[in-house]
Structure 1
Amino acid sequence: MRPTDRWRLVLGRYAEDRLPPAQDPNGSRYEAALDYLYGREYAGRGGRGDDGTDAPDDRGPGSLDASAPSIVDWLGEVRELFPRESVETIERHALDRYGLTELVTDPEVLARIEPSEELLRTLLSLKGQLDPAVLGQVRRIVRAVVEDLRRRLAEEVRQALTGRLDQHRHSPHAAAADFDPRGTVRANLRHWDAESGRLVVERPLFFARNTRRIPWEVVLLVDQSGSMVGSVIHSAVMAGILAGLPAYRLRLVVFDTSVVDLTDLAADPVELLMTVQLGGGTDIAQAVTYAGQVIENPARAVVVLVSDFCEGGPPSRLVAAVRRLVESRVTTIGLAALDGTAHPAYDRRTAEQLADVGMPVAALTPGRLAEWLAEVTAR
């Protein structure tokens, strides 16, 4: 695409009288597709309409003109014209910036959208408003995103939790991650060829892995307030992985102003995410108190609290509940974020109060949480 054509896309409707016509034969289609979405920016800021008059006051940034193409047609045009990375960005802007919730209320539209974590966050946030007709497509998107996350996280988490390399024993099972280069060289020195200066490796060695079967209870408390949607998604995937490890007894609890024990769904992250209801108030103290009631062996228990720590009730109740857990010898950690970026927004004052009574607070990726759990349960 020529530089002038790119500038036409950047300037939108203001390029018409200032730049030469697009040289790309699809130039007008590119411009129309982008203007359908980003033209709302002008109206939302009190800009001028296509006819040069002021945009009507009742036309908000998420409204549709009568002459506009349908959302389905527009989405098909975008997917045909632009590369995948651009399509994902345009779809995200449509949902997050311009409020085109038509994208998540029409089954035909959802069927065309590329599953992504950003889309799933929007779907979960709007789940209470979705028409039942779209739930089949919502479930398809949930499953695709969950499987992608699980595929990327499962091996990393399992290796951290089921055993680290034992550098004193070797294993008959060949795995590149466990290769012992020094041991292999020593074991094959007799095959050194001085003439060619090469070592012929007849018997590569691989480290064995320590395995642990420690009866630790892991209670995962997940705040399902609207601000925690990304952490809810990753918590569901993490719970699914933990539920498949026999050395750990997982209890999964979600909460807002109520506490719901979803341990029975922990092994099925798709069904779990279709069940949670984001939004509402937050009573973290009640959830922490519940964790203390269901733990059987405090000295062999871990409570992982995933929350933004914006407590709806008196913070003193929460601090007291955490103090009781710590004094009973339960290992605790608070996570202000459990997702792929670990960039949290949380109540720092409450987090500091919890840290003072023995609950450290951090923001971790699922992989780092697995490493922390491995260190704790190795004691």
Structure 2
Amino acid sequence: MSEQVKRRWRLALGRYAEQQLGGLTGGDGRADRALDYLYGREYDKRGLHRPDGPGSLDPTQMKALDWLGEARKLFPQSVFQVLQDHALDRYGLSELLDDPKTLDSLEPNQDLLKTLLSFHGRARPEIKDKLRQVADAVIQDVLRRLKSDVQRAFSGRRNPFKRSHIASAANFDWRNTLRRNLKHYDPKAGRIIAEELRFLSRERRRLPWSVVLCVDQSGSMTDSIIHSAVMAAILSGLPGVRVSMVLFDTSIIDVTDRLTDPLETLLSVQLGGGTDIGRAVEYCERFVETPERTVFVLISDFAEGASPRRLFRAVARMNEARVRLIGLSALDELGAPYHDEQIAGRLTSLGMQIGAMTPDRLAQWLAEVMR
């Protein structure tokens, strides 16, 4: 038996096969504990009790929320979906959904938001309001962090030929300030006494632009969906910018009418399913009214589940019409990009700029494209 086959059997059979197949360490050990937390309940039903002590894998040593976060990190999305369904349907792990006190004790963060989005559709009505409160706290935190970056990127370029009386560190003209105050140089102190400060004026950029966000909602894209929803809310608040947003897997959800509330956008998400990028991109073509003033942003891992011909034809049409095309690759939890290289390469040849970046960098990139 090869080591790989032996490892798989060990994970499948659980800790009761340790004597015959050996123990597990590192990531395999974590996966073993996560699987035992869930499927060890089968052994419990049959009277095979788990040992007590510091080395015990007793399920009380791990909370449901901890298990969810661990399972999401350790297993592929398709496997995690199965584990999640088994946890709720077969083993009744609903502590998170049934106990408002548990939700009160949670520290809101983006990982928690991803978990809550997965379970929101299954929560009891009296718990959904509490789930929304926790989710909204996380979204507002992301919104605060991103809003200043986006507004700064779109605030306009500095005009070196126009002066301003508005004192701002961002507008400070240090070259002209030095030039105007050279006569106030103090040789004893070895410094210039600045009696007259100079500032540059900013010209507010006219923004007659349409931004179309086409966002992959497959399970691996949760982080990107969260940031896209927040980004759409911020952009839609800018003067002269019209924002449209579509979520897709093999189906399409048009959330253009609810962009001012990122939480409402996120609650429309149906994580999982296949991927038909071409169909979604074709749908988004309806939002293109003034092509040369439209930016189309495809946020995906570009892993097309259907034939890519439909996708390529749609992108080629928009490129020919002079739509600005941006492809944003998915990022994993460490910020590393991952996408289908072949599809991404073909889209690049059709005129789409492909990048992988954090949301604040996306705002800067959009501002550059729209100048």
Which of the five TM-score ranges fits, normalised by the shorter chain?
A: 0.7 to 0.9
Q: Deviations over 1:316-374 (max 9, x none)?
A: 11111111111121111111127996423322222222222222322121222222222
Identify the residue that residue 321 of structure 1 maps to in structure 2.
314
| SS in structure 2 of the partner of residue 208 of structure 1 | strand
The CA distance in 2 between the partners of 1:185 and 1:251, in whole Å, is 47
Contact 2:34 2:67 survives alignment (8 Å)? no
- The letter of the residue matching 1:217 is S
| Aligned position for 1:272 | 265
In the other structure, the counterpart of 1:5 is none
Q: Could you report, residue by residue, the CA deviation over 1:10-69 in whole angstroms, capped at 9, with x for unpaired residues?
A: xxxxxxxxxxxxxxxxxxxxxxxxxxx9994695699xx9xxx98659xxxxx965xx48
Partners of 1:302 and 1:368 in 2: how far apart?
Answer: 16
One-letter code aligned to 2:142: L
What CA distance in whole angstroms lies between the structure 2 residues aligned with 1:64 and 1:317?
A: 51
| Contact 1:235 1:338 (8 Å CA) reproduced | no
> In the alignment, which residue of structure 2 is the partner of 1:262?
255
Aligned to 1:311: 304
Q: Which residue of 1 aligns with 2:196?
A: 203
Displacement of 1:284 after TM fit?
A: 1.2
| Partner residue in 1 for 2:214 | 221
Q: 292-301 vs 185-194, which deviates more? A: 185-194
Name the structure 2 match of 1:376: 369
Matches of 2:96 and 2:73, distance apart in 1? 12
Q: Deviation at 1:279? A: 1.8
**TM, length-normalised to structure 2:** 0.74
Query: Given the alignment of the two structures, is residue 147 of structure 1 paired with residue 136 of structure 2, yes or no?
Result: no
- In structure 1, runs of 5+ residues without a counterpart are 1-36, 58-62, 76-88
Matched, 1:241 2:234: yes
Distance 1:126 1:41, change over 3 A: closer
Map 1:56-95 → 2, pairs under 5 A: 68=60, 92-93=69-70
Partners of 2:277 and 2:306 lie apart in 1 by 8
Amino acid at match of 2:101: E
Residue 177 of structure 1: how far off its partner (Å) = 2.7
SS of the aligned residue for 1:146 comes to helix
Partner letter of residue 135 of structure 1? Answer: K
2:131 is matched with: 138
C-alpha separation between the residues in 2 aligned to 1:113 and 1:95? 18
Q: Quote the offset at 1:169 in angstroms.
A: 2.6
Distance in 1 between residues matched to 2:166 and 2:347, nearest whole Å: 45
- Deviation track 1:240-266 (CA, whole Å, cap 9, x = no partner) reads 110111131111121222222212211
Aligned residues: 315
Mapped contact 1:146–1:237 kept (Cα < 8 A) = yes
1:104 & 1:154 partners in 2: Cα distance? 31
Letter in 1 for 2:139: V
Distance 1:280 1:291, change over 3 A: same
Structure 2 CA distance for partners of 1:103 and 1:361, relative to 1, 3 Å: farther
1:231 is displaced (CA, Å) by 0.2
Match of 1:118 among 90, 111, 122: 111
Give percent identity, aligned residues only: 45
